[in-house]
Amino acid sequence: MPLIKWRDSYSVGVAKFDLEHKVLVELINNIYSIIRNGDDQVIPEYEVAELISYTQAHFKGEEEAMEACGYEFSEEHKKIHAELEVEVLKFKEQLENFSDRVVSDLYLFLRNWLLNHILEEDMKYRECLNTCEDTRKRNKKISGYRHKTIHQYPFS
């Protein structure tokens, strides 16, 4: 199974969220690499915890932006985020009952979990957020962090 490769077509047009989505791709790829390359007893607990907390902070940021821009479907999008959070917590449980059989299923789950959400749901806010003054301010905030590595990127 190949790792997730970021494509320009995944861009939601908001620099801050594209950057965060790239970090999520990296976190998921790391988890898969650890599972694939490690022995059967390796459970990437730290990385999964990192994925969960990064996801929660990212969702919160998206929700704030959608509200600030008056996005019509922000309530619906929030519900989807809440469901995705439940799913990723279930993933964590499954990982605790780790077995060979579930490894590729779990990776597929995370891969689809992220890519489907970006491509189907996040794309819907693209136009609204891109014509919003608040987005310009958010994007301006990240320009100062260009020289830093992706993991040092703060959420504020």
Task: State the residues that interact with Fe ion by CB under 5 A.
Answer: 62, 122
**Residue type for position 57:** A
In residues, how long is the chain?
Answer: 156
Of 43 and 57, nearer to Fe ion (C-beta) is 57
Element (H, E) at 53: helix 45-68
User: Measured from the CB of residue 121, what is the shortest distance to Fe ion in angstroms?
Assistant: 5
User: Measured from the CB of residue 135, what is the shortest distance to Fe ion in angstroms?
Assistant: 14
Of 60 and 136, nearer to Fe ion (C-beta) is 60
Please name which of 6, 41, 40, 125 lies closest in space to residue 75, comparing C-alpha atoms: 125
* Alpha helix (H) residue ranges in 1-44: 15-37
d(CA 125, CA 62): 10
Of 106 and 114, nearer to Fe ion (C-beta) is 114
Of 15 and 102, nearer to Fe ion (C-beta) is 15
d(CA 14, CA 138): 9
User: Measured from the CB of residue 12, what is the shortest distance to Fe ion in angstroms?
Assistant: 8
User: Measured from the CB of residue 78, what is the shortest distance to Fe ion in angstroms?
Assistant: 9
